[in-house]
Chains A and B, each alone.
Chain A
Amino acid sequence: MNEVMVLVDIGSTFTKVTAVDMEKRVVQSRSAAPTTPADVSVGLQNALEGLNLAKGVLQPARVLACSSAAGGLRMVAIGLVEDLTAKAAKQAALGAGARVLKTFSFQLTEEDREEIISLRPDIILLAGGTDGGNTENILHNAKVLASLPEPVPVVIAGNRSVAQEVARCFPESFSTSIAANVMPQIGKLQVEPAREAIRRVFMEKIIYAKGLTKASRLINGIFMPTPAAVLRAGQLLSEGTAVTKGWGDLVIVDVGGATTDVHSLGDGMPTKTGVVVRGLPEPYAKRTVEGDLGVRVSVVSLTEAVTVPVMAEATGWSEERVEERVRMLNDQPETLPTNAEEVFFDQILGYQAVRLGVGRHVGKLSELYTPSGLVWIQDGKDLSKVSRVIGTGGVLINSDAPLTMLEGAQQAEVASLELRPESPQYFLDGDYILAAMGLLAQEHPETALTVLQNSLGEHELSRRDM
């Protein structure tokens, strides 16, 4: 085993590197440098030089990387029925760490084709039909996609009866790959093979398109989208390894300037009696991305979702002042708060992004009166008994009051129909190592788990009122 392993996270603004002492199972040193979009290897080299490594150690060290630079992994997901294979395809793409630009269902129209051209996806995930089920829809859509002016890598994960035939619709320039159906039967979700296929395409094709080729000379392997690495870290932390017990069900929240990501690990089955689960089964490792919830680039849409009166009430500011500040943050997203009031305003924004993001991620209950009495219907995952919520991302990690924001995850009302965590413990990814450990987990899960548990354990956030 290497003495030191170096984990790299090439973000859109910073390139972060973490060196792990494999024998002692501790973070040996960390460093970051601004990402250099024109040639990311420059920023990576700068970051690596910032590591406090003894001379000659870096050379033999194994270097693994993930990236969310150059807009991340941009994908379009396509299925047949919106609530079935299209939803499963979207879930598979999100779990692979992609930004899902749009999900299409049924037969693609001429307008859809135009829209896909303008969205310029890096990869298209094409699903539709259960195994042995509908074939015409996916074949129709393959023919439409095959006529796109620029070739796009296509991952085919639909009805396996026609998978080969679908692949044959495309000219060779498209580089298709076939994965198992994202929904082999009604009521059965199978997103892992498609996620794996997407990751492979990302590794083999996309890093070249994203100008990461030069950086790849400094890197030994496992190039994955950063959100996929974070989800992998969550999975490891939740499930544990053959030797070490995991933490069980958990939720990870990442608030950013543009989006809020929520990851949940857990089967999400009902925790109360008399509840019937409806809809498509939920993946154990589930990721959702809210493109309208962010504290800078998306501050206008976040405020729209929260509403100005609510923001005014929470901050104690006048509505005019709230609107003015929001306009300011939108015009100059690099703005940092300069006084206590502005810091507090940012905290409220963060809190609201967490509250809405988690609210959309969790399952919901609805009442149904039947002749045999009241029945509760559950749509989505029941996360009410989740015992740990972890915050990550620059907005939370660099804040003085991450707990204030993270508490937005929690159930506030007693009789709410949202199945949010009721009374979790909160942790902060204070060493910024979730993505790094997700990478390390691919090769050394035991070490990654030890480092993760120790680091998060040191950053448990205790409540002020306790």
Chain B
Amino acid sequence: MEARTLVLGVIGSDVHAVGNKILEISFKEAGFTVVNLGVLVSQKEFVEAALETNADAIMVSSLYGHGEIDVRGLREALIEAGIGDILMYIGGYLVVGSQEWSEVESKFKQLGFDRVYPPSTLPEDFIPTLKSDLGM
């Protein structure tokens, strides 16, 4: 079957580049077509890249604690662009300090993410889930 396309990037004013590269390699090895937008990616760039590439999912990273502010409105922007039902994951250091994970997870699910992953999640932990979410 045709390779599924993922749009990948680190959102906001976040310059953490290493994890982003590891994700790119892992997704490619798992057979995905990866559109890696790199670091310092705005919401607009995620939306536009997903539109042009007809992406199957958007993979957002945030590693500096400001993720909540950065992703607010992203799902709504996707709805406006006509691709509101696209699958969307987020992972990383999503909040500052030690907040209860279940709270963090439900907060980001309310913000429109289908799956939310804590720090130190390994690619093999979520790639099978991603494949099943995409019906592969």
Q: Which residues of A contact B (CB under 8 A)?
A: 80-81, 83-85, 128-130, 132-135, 183, 185-187, 276, 278, 368-372, 375, 377
Q: How many residues of B contact A (CB 8 A)?
A: 22
Given known A132-B5, A371-B66, A375-B15, contact A278–B40 (CB-CB < 8 A): yes
In the complex the two chains form, what is the Cα distance from A452 to B10 in whole Å?
A: 47
Q: Given contacts A186-B35, A276-B40, is CB(A370)–CB(B13) below 8 Å?
A: yes
B64 within 8 A of A: yes
Expressed in whole angstroms, the minimum distance between the Cβ of B61 and any Cβ of chain A is: 15
Q: Which residues of B contact A83 (CB under 8 A)?
A: 44, 48
Tell whether, in the assembled complex, residue B40 and residue A186 are in contact, meaning their CB atoms are under 8 Å apart. Answer: no
Contacts of A132 in B (CB 8 A): 2, 5, 33, 53-54
Interface centre among B7, B13, B53 (most CB of A within 10 A): B53
Contact among A134, A276, A278, A368 with B52 in the assembled complex (CB-CB below 8 Å): A134
Give the residues from 10 to 59 in chain B that come closer than 8 angstroms, CB to CB, to chain A. 13-15, 33, 35, 37, 39-40, 44, 48-49, 51-55
Provided the pairs A276-B40, A371-B13, A372-B15 are in contact, do residues A133 and B52 lie with their beta carbons within 8 angstroms?
yes
User: Could you tell me the dominant secondary structure of chain A's interface residues?
Assistant: loop
CB contact list, B118-133 vs A, under 8 A:
none
In the assembled complex, how far is the CB of residue A121 from the closest CB belonging to chain B, in whole angstroms? 23
For B64, list chain A residues within 8 Å (CB): 370-372
Given that A186-B37, A186-B49 are known contacts, is A133 also in contact with B15, CB under 8 Å in the complex? no
Contact of B65 with A by CB under 8 A: yes
- Decide if B49 touches A375 in the complex (CB within 8 Å): no
- Which residues of B91-113 are within 8 A (CB) of A? none
Query: Which of chain A's residues have a CB closer than 8 A to the CB of B44?
Result: 83
B54 contacts A135, C-beta separation under 8 Å: yes
With a CB–CB cut-off of 8 A, which chain B residues contact A375?
13, 15, 40
Cα of A80 to Cα of B14 in the assembled complex, Å: 28
Q: How far is the CB of A308 from chain B (nearest CB, A)?
A: 36
Q: How far is the CB of B56 from chain A (nearest CB, A)?
A: 11
The 10 lowest CB-CB distance pairs between A and B, nearest first, are A133-B53, A370-B13, A81-B48, A134-B54, A133-B54, A186-B49, A186-B35, A130-B53, A371-B64, A84-B52
Residues of B within 8 A of A85 (CB): 52
| Bound complex: CA A186 to CA B41 (Å) | 13
Residues of B contacting A369 in the complex (Cβ-Cβ under 8 angstroms): 13
Footprint of A on B, CB under 8 Å?
2, 5, 7, 13-15, 33, 35, 37, 39-40, 44, 48-49, 51-55, 64-66
Least Cβ–Cβ distance between B104 and chain A, in angstroms = 19
Q: What distance in Å separates the Cβ of B67 from its nearest Cβ neighbour in chain A? A: 12
Q: List 9 A-B contacts (CB under 8 A).
A: A83-B48, A129-B54, A132-B5, A186-B52, A186-B53, A370-B14, A370-B64, A371-B13, A375-B40
Shortest beta-carbon distance, A134 to chain B, in Å? 4
A307 to B113, CA, bound (A): 49
Across the interface, which residues of B come within 8 angstroms of A84, CB to CB? Answer: 48-49, 52
- Which of A85, A132, A186, A370 is most buried by chain B, counting CB atoms within 10 A of its CB? A186
Which of the residues B2, B33, B52, B65 comes within 8 Å of A80, measured between beta carbons? B52
A304 to B64, CA, bound (A): 45
Instruction: Write the nearest CB–CB distance from A165 to chain B, whole angstroms.
Output: 15
Min CB distance B55 to A, Å, is 8
The answer to whether A183 and B52 touch across the interface, beta carbons within 8 angstroms, is yes
CA distance A375 to B39 in the complex (A): 12
A134 surroundings in chain B (CB, below 8 A): 51-54
What's the Cα separation between A129 and B48 when bound, in Å? 10
For the complex formed, measure the closest distance between the CB of B118 and the CB atoms of chain A, giving whole angstroms. 20
Q: How far is the CA of A370 from the CA of B62 in the complex (A)?
A: 13
| Other A-B pairs beyond A85-B52, A133-B53, A372-B64, 20, CB < 8 Å | A80-B51, A80-B52, A81-B52, A84-B48, A129-B53, A130-B35, A133-B5, A133-B55, A134-B51, A134-B54, A186-B7, A186-B37, A187-B35, A278-B40, A368-B13, A369-B13, A370-B40, A370-B64, A372-B15, A375-B15
State in angstroms the CA–CA spacing of A296 and B2 once bound together.
56
Question: CB-CB < 8 A to B54: which residues of A?
Answer: 129, 132-135
Complex alpha-carbon distance, A370 and B12, angstroms = 9
A4 to B76, CA, bound (A): 66
Among B14, B44, B49, B66, which residue has the most Cβ atoms of chain A within 10 A?
B49
Min CB–CB distance B46 → chain A (angstroms): 11
Is there an interface contact between A129 and B52, defined as CB atoms closer than 8 Å? yes
Nearest CB in chain B: distance from A402 CB, A: 41
Q: Which of B44, B52, B54, B65 has the most CB of A within 10 A?
A: B52
Contacts of B37 in A (CB 8 A): 186-187
Which A residues are CB-close (under 8 A) to B15? Answer: 276, 370, 372, 375
Which residues of B have CB within 8 Å of A370?
Answer: 13-15, 40, 64
- Chain A nearest CB from B42 CB (Å) reads 9
Inter-chain contacts of B13 with A (CB < 8 A): 368-371, 375
Query: Within 8 Å CB of A130, what residues of B?
Result: 35, 52-53
Whole-angstrom CA separation of A261 from B33 in the bound complex: 39
- Return chain A residues, CB-CB under 8 Å to B35: 130, 185-187
A274 CB, nearest partner CB in chain B, Å: 11
